[in-house]
Structure 1
Amino acid sequence: MSFSQSSSPTLMKEQYQKKENEKQRIIEKVGSEHVQPTKEEQDYATDVIKIISEQFSEDLITKNLDDLDAPIRRAIAAECEKLQVTFEVQKRIEKTVGMMVLGNGPIEEYLQDPEVTEIVVQRYDNIVVERHGKVEPVPTIFNSEVHLQTIIKRIVQKVNRQINIGHPIVDARLQDGSRVNATIPPVSPDGATLTIRKFSQSALTGADYVRMGSMNRQMLYFLTLCVKGRLNIFVSGGTGTGKTTMLNMLSSYIAENDLIITIEDTLELKLQQKNVRRMEVRLSSTKDMEMVDQKSLVKAALRQRPDRIILGEVRDESIIDLVSAMSTGHEGSMSTIHANSPRNMCDVRIPILYSYDKNADFSEKSIALQIAEAVQIIVQLSRFPDGSRKITAITEVDGLENSGKLRLNDIFLYDRQKKIFHATGNVPKTAIRKIRDHGISVDETIFQINVPKEEIKA
């Protein structure tokens, strides 16, 4: 026997093992990365999806998806093996099809895309996403209205919620923290709608805000002192201005040993301190299930001896209890609110929320007095046409005017024409005193108007 003949089986075995190792490497690589299919891959995937959809059309609607997972994956793998493509492309197509059929349909790729922050399905054939703060249409569509409603039911069932004619609206939180709102006819007569606000896995820091041009260093320094000095803060802004993200950043400056209770409609805050108790509103889905609203949770929190209460967004009469808590020992509490300006927040939005309590009867002056006692700082956020979000005002609440209106002093502003942040020259003496009462020094030069422009340019 020649040397070449004796070594051939060994050589073949080595080559086979090398090939298998390479396949395993590709499987692990494709499995761990976000697959953005090429046009060719997407075309192949579409063809495979049609075959799988036809093969399992009835099962996908009537059976539990968990029971179908294994047979569908086997069928997908078998179809992809027939394709005349490389092994890596085959696995990319297989993953794409799997996400589409077993995941969340055509929106799965956007759920996996870290650059997409929000997905809005306006109709089964009209989908837009928010990327880098700007809304843009996408070419992806659902196959039909039935397909969209099937995916919606699949999404909400995973978090033990239901949507049907009797309950045509659903708000839910996914396992990763993303917020979901969905509707079906008859409340949305043109077809089902679906909105998913993705949960950011990495919280922004104060330095990130400065780097992105959302505030300058002087503003961050002052806000840091306000949190550490236990001032009560409201973050105000319109929809999509980043109020919760800002609240999350501010909360990172809370002392490690403070006892904190957070209250949210949907859990979004990611506090890192060790003494955090989280509460979440519960909607009633059956006659026997009690609804637990913000007001109930604020009252419960007050009985649990928190140092600070953080209310994710005040949207009902719980404002009365929160303001009372802020002025009676729970210093350093924070919340967000929908308002267009600090003045709009104080004179319009908060009084409207007070009016939600039909058993309460507060005059405008009484409400203003309560706000003056409870709130020290308002952080106003705005969203700009280019998708950026900025702090447009940091304002001090400084008692009442003779007219009974709240005295609001802007400390920092954003000049939209010059595109710069600047101090107004107003020195928030009441806030400074409160901060210093906690043993924290304050550099008052940050409030000077003539700070060099290069220091404050966005």
Structure 2
Amino acid sequence: MESLSTKKLFVESESFVPEEREAELHFQKQKVLIHQELVDSLDLSMLAQISEKELSAEVRAVATEICDEHVAVLEGIDRERLLNELLSEVFGLGPLDKLMADPTISDILVNHAYEIHIERNGQLEESDVIFADNQHLMRIIQRIVSRVGRRIDEVNPMVDARLPDGSRINAIIPPLALNGPSLSIRRFGATPLQIDDLIENNSLTPEIVDFLAAVVDSRISMLISGGTGSGKTTLLNALSNFIPREERLITIEDSAELILQHKHVVRLETKTENTEGVGEISQRQLVKNSLRMRPDRIIIGEVRGAEALDMLQAMNTGHEGSLTTVHANDTRDALARLEMMVTISGFDLPLPVIRQYIANGIGIVLHVSRLKGGQRRLTKVSEIVSLDSLGDYKVEDIFGFEQTGVDDQGNAQGKFYSTGYRPNCLKRMEACGIKLSDQIFENK
């Protein structure tokens, strides 16, 4: 076996590593070499027959022996940390385990082996975690992908999947990623934010919550729009708490993220094609199937394609109160995107018909934004009233958020306001026995 002190690994773009992290790079390199020697030393056929606890003890014992054989090479390296991280290399996600164990981290963004950023409390910051090289990173990506029954290689250089803990991953490798393998992990807390948490975070106001609770309870369908990471799914999760407990919900997602505050839920998730190129199950197929499952409401995590038509049909034929999200820059853009999605459904529907479907099916549109400093706000609550004489949407804003500046830390500052408009849907709420105070809608 090649000597631990002389064996060389091919490292791409090592100049990316700043001087203050050279010690960490040395640690990672030695750990990778020890790990390889560890794998070569283990009797894998025997290990498959013992419990996970015994397996961990056996791996640690073998790793300790190997470290004892290379005391000179490992001089100055934290031995206990090395042994613990070797277990992460065997059973976990290597250097990323440290980040995955931190509940305050919402995103882990690996640009390449020597540059990892994290998002904490809405702010991006560079982590001190690095890999030994891009081959080390590639092995971890392949392990993550294989655990969810997927593959990644030069033929399939992109993967989008979900980890067992609900985290969403996206990996892309060369030849598409020029600086080496790249990995993004979007994490979701075990306990989703509640409405009270959003109020405390100043993401919305109690008055807006009262209105939205009435919208949900009176079965008015709702569309939540916003950009990436703006909090669409978080808001949808929180609003589900207002759905009556006796109702049956069907959720449909590409990658399951929703943790609804409701008991009677059937969760559906799309399926990608297998290595032979067959077996794909799309959101549109799941929406069609869900109509045969006796749902009271259908909740689509994010509408992004031809399933938009089937969703609108459901909203217009007895499944009022359904909810979904869409990527968009504002309310009007969200409606335009829905129109575009319907046009790719395969049916040659005139634009006036599409718009009538949207206006009849969706009552309220919420727009959420991620502001400077990472703060997330519900920036607009609007009602689709009808279509005007020219066939365009007549949309009235009910509540909004106005940014007035930034503070000394660069965080956005602003205030919520009500426009004074009394929405038409109040009549439906009253018919459902819900009476809201007029003060909620006073212009302020």
* TM norm structure 1: 0.81
1:350 and 2:338 equivalent?
yes
127, 143, 156: which one pairs with 2:145? 156
Write the mapping of 1:87-126 to structure 2, written as runs, cut at 5 A: 94-100=83-89, 102-126=91-115
| Distance in structure 2 (CA, Å) of the matches to 1:449 and 1:314 | 33
The alignment status of 1:368 with 2:355, answered yes or no, reads yes
Match for 2:273 among 280, 284, 304? 284
Residues 142-291 of structure 1 mapped to structure 2, 5 A cutoff: 142-287=131-276, 289-291=278-280
Equivalence for 1:434: 428
Task: Give yes or no for the alignment of 1:379 onto 2:373.
Answer: no
Q: Tell me what 2:61 maps to.
A: 74
Q: Distance in 2 between matches of 1:121 and 1:414?
A: 34
How far, CA to CA, are the matches of 2:202 and 2:67 in structure 1?
47
Residue 293 of structure 2: which of 304, 327, 342 is its match?
Answer: 304
2:42 is equivalent to residue 55 of structure 1: no
Residue identity in the other structure for 1:435 = M
Contact preservation (8 Å) 1:48, 1:80: no
Per-residue CA distance 1:373-417 (angstroms, 9 max, x = gap): 000011100001211100000011100111211011110010111
* Secondary structure at 2:427 match in 1: helix
Q: CA separation of 1:397/1:105 partners in 2, compared to 1, >3 Å: closer, same or farther?
A: same
3-state SS of the aligned residue for 1:75?
helix
Is the contact made by 1:394 and 1:411 (CA closer than 8 Å) also made in structure 2?
Answer: yes
Cα distance in 2 between the residues matched to 1:391 and 1:137: 28
1:448 aligns with 2:442: yes
Which residue identity lines up with residue 189 of structure 1 in the other structure? Answer: L
Residues 48, 79 of structure 1: 8 Å contact kept: no
* From 410, 417, 430, the counterpart of 1:422: 417
C-alpha change, 1:145 and 1:50, in structure 2 (3 Å) is closer
Structure 2 gaps of 5+ residues are 1-20, 49-54, 72-77, 405-412
1:318 pairs with one of 307, 312, 320: 307
Q: CA deviation at 1:69?
A: 5.2
Task: Sort the Cα spacing of 1:238 and 1:192 in 2 relative to 1 into closer, same or farther, 3 A.
Answer: same
Answer yes or no: is the 8 Å Cα contact 1:395–1:412 preserved in 2: yes
Q: Residue 189 of structure 1: CA displacement?
A: 3.4
Residue 432 of structure 1 aligns with an amino acid whose one-letter code is L
Shift of 1:45: 6.8
Q: Deviation at 1:434?
A: 1.6
TM-score (norm 2): 0.84
Give the 3-state SS of the residue equivalent to 1:252 in structure 2: helix
RMSD (CA atoms) = 2.8
Q: Distance in 2 between matches of 1:385 and 1:289?
A: 44
Quote the offset at 1:288 in angstroms: 6.7
1:2-21 correspondence to structure 2 within 5 Å: none
2:392 counterpart letter in structure 1: K
Aligned length in residues? 402
Q: Distance in 1 between matches of 2:382 and 2:285?
A: 30
> Could you tell me whether the CA contact under 8 Å between 1:100 and 1:108 is conserved in 2?
no
- Label 1:65 to 1:178 Cα distance change in 2 as closer, same or farther (>3 A): farther
| 1:152 aligned partner, one-letter code | I
Report the counterpart of residue 388 of structure 1 in structure 2. 375
Instruction: Tell me, in whole angstroms, the C-alpha distance in 2 between the residues paired with 1:437 and 1:286.
Output: 54
